[in-house]
Structure 1
């Protein structure tokens, strides 16, 4: 005879494994601080790469007209503005990434805890079935 509660529980577990399982298990395997730090560093690295590429494209596009009218002071001011803009972008993206990945870790950890509870319930169902067979 099929236990309806057990089937429902197994269905919930299969849906979870299909939708979130792999990613949640990877995320939950990290300590929260380590996961947030790692993902934030990766984000800042990608922001840096993007900024350097964009700066290079703009520099190449406007280099000739800029060099014709450039003075030492204007070059220094543009470089300072470029560095300031980079710092603002890196810090803001870093803070955003930190909050985003903190929430992501908390959600994943909660879903994994619920999954473990479902596994425990399933184990109890099987334990009851074994007891009935042994009697």
Structure 2
């Protein structure tokens, strides 16, 4: 479902030839700002790779490090506004979900979902170390 938004199949069908080369996969990756492996999978799902061509492409992408990351990075990688805003250490200690909701213009339920319910807990390590040394 999400891949259709990132790499629309109709666009792939109109712009990619059967058994696309590695350089074509990387060009499509750069154009749509998605990972190389996601690009190869989308091309395969569009029916434009034979089984052997898909295996060859995935093997080469893996050897070049694209299976675990994007060597050289993605050009214009999108970044979340949620985590840096919600978990900014310079913020007041007791920031409420209502304050975040107003600042981000995002409903509280979405903030909880987008941060996976994560909460920041501040530890005073010096106090903890002092308590341990007294024991």
TM-score tier by shorter-chain length is: under 0.3
Greater relative contact order, per chain length (Cα 8 Å cut-off, separation 6+):
1
TM-score if structure 2 supplies the norm length?
0.26
More helix by share: 1
TM-score if structure 1 supplies the norm length?
0.26
The structure with the largest alpha-carbon Rg is: 1
